[in-house]
């Protein structure tokens, strides 16, 4: 009997390895790894996309920017280099959706406090009102962590272009140059400056989905 097992030992080991490989392949087929889509302007309703980029089907990335945060510091794309981040548009005097959105950003900040490669970025759509002191006051009231979350202001033209041409997150007001209506969307941006998701910033279920999708991005 021992001679029999010794004779077929090699065959048994090979069969065991093949079985393990087959089981692994079947498991991966039945439980595919989640991959987030890469959004292009053509994937988004034209209402939220500037006419100059509505035709873009691939290679869309967030443009370079230079804005000023709540501490009077210049913030550029370099500060977000090799980072995953969540972007949105708001204004400090908003009394409708902004307070809910900000509360949800605070929740995201808390959940991701120890995640050094994930940041937040909120752009004011009323830079004429939201000066650096006003943003600082708002940041202190809301508990913004300066190391994690920048509230930024700048020229209305630059913010308009970022919202409409880069983040695809605002509606145009064609009768008033560089004015827009921001949406409730939170935009998930990966380390290559590509849009990987849109989320309703007023919906707790969407915030939960956003946090899960950040885990997916970190695993890529």
pLDDT tens-digit series, residues 155-174: 999 999 999 999 999 999 98
- For residue 2, pLDDT beyond 60: no
Contacts of 86 (CB under 8 A, 6+ apart): 105, 108, 118, 119, 120, 121, 186, 187, 188, 189, 210, 214
Looking at residue 34, its pLDDT comes to 83
Residue for token pair 């949800």: 104
Q: What is the mean pLDDT of the chain?
A: 91
Query: How many Å separate Cα 49 from the centre of its chain?
Result: 17
Whether residue 182 is annotated as binding a ligand: the answer is yes
pLDDT above 50 (res 5): no
CATH code of the domain containing 148: 3.40.30.10
Is residue 25 pLDDT above 90, yes or no?
Answer: no
Question: What is the count of structural domains for the chain?
Answer: 2
Q: Which domain holds residue 3?
A: 1-32
Same domain, 8 and 93: no
| Position 33 confidence tier, pLDDT thresholds 50, 70, 90 | confident
Helical axes 204-219 vs 98-111, angle rounded to 10°: 40
Q: Could you give the 3-state DSSP secondary structure of residue 10?
A: helix
Shared domain check, 68 and 7 = no
Asked if residue 89 and residue 1 are part of one domain, the reply reads no
Question: 162 and 96, same structural domain?
Answer: yes
Q: Are 171 and 184 in contact (CB under 8 A)?
A: no
Both 91 and 15 in one domain: the answer is no
pTM of the prediction?
0.85
Supply 77's token pair.
């794309």
Kindly state whether residues 25 and 46 are assigned to the same domain.
no
195 and 108 together in one domain: yes
pLDDT digits (tens, 9 = 90+) for 93-103: 999 999 999 99
Q: Do residue 79 and residue 11 come from a single domain? A: no
Name residue, tokens 């920048």. 150
Is 76 found in the same domain as 18?
Answer: no
- Residues 18, 84 within the same domain: no
Per-residue confidence band for 17, with pLDDT thresholds at 50, 70 and 90:
low
Residues 92 and 113 in one domain: yes
Spell out the long-range contacts of 19-27 with Cβ–Cβ below 8 A and sequence spacing 24 or more: none
Nearest Cα to Cα of residue 186 among 119, 101, 115? 101
Question: Binding residue per annotation — 98?
Answer: yes
Q: Do 208 and 104 have their domain in common?
A: yes
Among residues 103, 203, 161, 151, the alpha carbon closest in space to that of 170 is found at 161
**Chain segment 182-205, per-residue pLDDT in tens:** 999 999 999 999 999 999 999 999
Cβ atoms within 10 Å of 216's Cβ, excluding its own? 15
Does 216 have pLDDT greater than 80?
Answer: yes
């Amino acid at each position: 009997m021992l001679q029999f097992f010794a004779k077929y030992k090699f065959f048994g080991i090979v069969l065991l390895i093949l079985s393990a490989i087959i089981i692994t392949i079947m498991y991966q087929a039945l439980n595919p790894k989640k991959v987030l889509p890469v959004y292009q302007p053509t994937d988004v309703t034209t209402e939220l996309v500037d006419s100059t980029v509505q035709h873009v089907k691939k290679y869309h990335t967030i443009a370079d920017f230079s804005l000023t945060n709540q501490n009077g510091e210049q913030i550029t794309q370099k500060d977000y280099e090799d980072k995953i981040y969540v972007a949105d548009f708001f204004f400090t005097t908003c009394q409708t959706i902004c307070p809910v959105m900000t509360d949800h950003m605070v929740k995201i900040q808390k959940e991701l406090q120890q995640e050094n490669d994930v940041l937040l970025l909120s752009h004011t759509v009323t830079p004429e009102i939201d000066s650096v002191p006003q943003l600082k006051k708002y940041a202190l009231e809301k508990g913004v962590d300066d190391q994690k979350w920048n509230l930024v202001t700048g020229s209305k033209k630059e913010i308009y272009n970022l919202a409409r041409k880069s983040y695809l997150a605002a509606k145009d007001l064609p009768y008033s140059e560089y004015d827009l209506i921001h949406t409730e969307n939170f935009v998930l941006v990966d380390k290559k400056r590509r849009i990987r998701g849109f989320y309703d910033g007023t919906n707790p279920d969407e915030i939960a989905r956003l946090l899960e999708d950040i885990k997916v991005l970190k695993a890529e």
